[in-house]
Amino acid sequence: MLLRTVTALVGLPVILAAVWWGAPWLTALTLLAAILAVREIYRLSPPGTDSLPWLLGAMWVAAWALGAQVASGLSNFLIISGGILAAGAFVSLLWLVAFYRGERFLTAAGFLAGGPVVAGFLLGHALALRNIGDSGDVGRDWLLLALLTVFAADTGAFLVGQVLGRHKLAPSISPGKTWEGAGGGLACAAAALALGFLPGLSSPLWQLAIIGATVGVLSQVGDLLESRVKRASNVKDAGSLIPGHGGLMDRLDSIVLSVPAVYYLLATVFEP
């Protein structure tokens, strides 16, 4: 617990500073995180699959991160992302046909394409969200709110689950998670809504409530999905990069669904 806390106290200011300053610092941090994350995902491919080409995955996620940075608006972002998806899928298919010799071809194809989608496309929404709105300060404040709400939900779920957890949430997937912890995560996500009254944000309370509830749920869904993948691969953590936390994907699993949800809510439903 001490190591987990110390790591968080060191890493959190770096993330928040990168968000505050924006490009090129946030771009570089996102790019680095995406490349390391896709490597972890490829290593999670279950027994029976050959090693996947990490360099191909790294190039794919790098293209998505840079595309998200230069995109202007939702339509432009989706067009760029769709082009990168098509090109990456074509190259991946060529590699599978030419070089893959292992078993479980479809599983390998799923990891080969799914890894960059999660680590590149979904994580790249952080850059798209940072650039949203007429003012860079608006995107900055929304991304800060989204990330802090995710962190609050994760922390609340962990602490409440440790102290009050009695009823298992999904014992076959993640035995340590409880319904009490899930409730604590939602409560802490709701409490983080107080940050929604930052000077750069002017959304009404009902919009903040929807965003908070969405983040509170999706952050825990992402955690469960990654736990399902790790169980299928028979590993406890996605890696060992972050002391006390495991791999990078063990921390990004709550972000890769939550941040895109906030982005699309703001880009299509709410006024940023």
pLDDT tens per residue, range 36-76: 999 999 988 887 788 899 999 999 999 999 999 999 889 99
The pLDDT of 94-105, averaged and rounded, is 91
> CA 3 → CA 6, 15, 161, 253, 272, distances in Å?
5, 18, 19, 20, 37
What whole-number distance in Å separates Cα of residue 184 and Cα of residue 196? 19
Q: Three-state DSSP class for 155? A: helix
| pLDDT at position 197 | 58
Name the phi and psi angles at 176, rounded to 5: -80, -15
Give yes or no for residue 8 having a pLDDT over 70.
no
Give yes or no for residue 154 having a pLDDT over 60.
yes
Helical (H) or strand (E) element with 170: strand 168-170
Residues 176-225: tens digit of each pLDDT: 889 999 998 888 888 777 666 555 566 777 888 888 889 989 999 998 99
| pLDDT at position 199 | 55
In terms of C-beta density within 10 A (0-12 exposed, 13-18 middle, 19 or more buried), how is residue 222 classed?
A: buried
- Do the Cβ atoms of 25 and 18 come closer than 8 Å? yes
270 band by pLDDT with thresholds 50, 70 and 90 = confident
| pLDDT at position 247 | 79
20-29, 130-139, 179-188, 223-232: segment of lowest average pLDDT: 130-139
The pLDDT of 123-129, averaged and rounded, is 96
| pLDDT at position 112 | 95
243 vs 83, more confident: 83
Give yes or no for residue 155 having a pLDDT over 90.
no
202 vs 256, more confident: 256
Share the mean pLDDT of the chain.
Answer: 87
| pLDDT at position 35 | 95
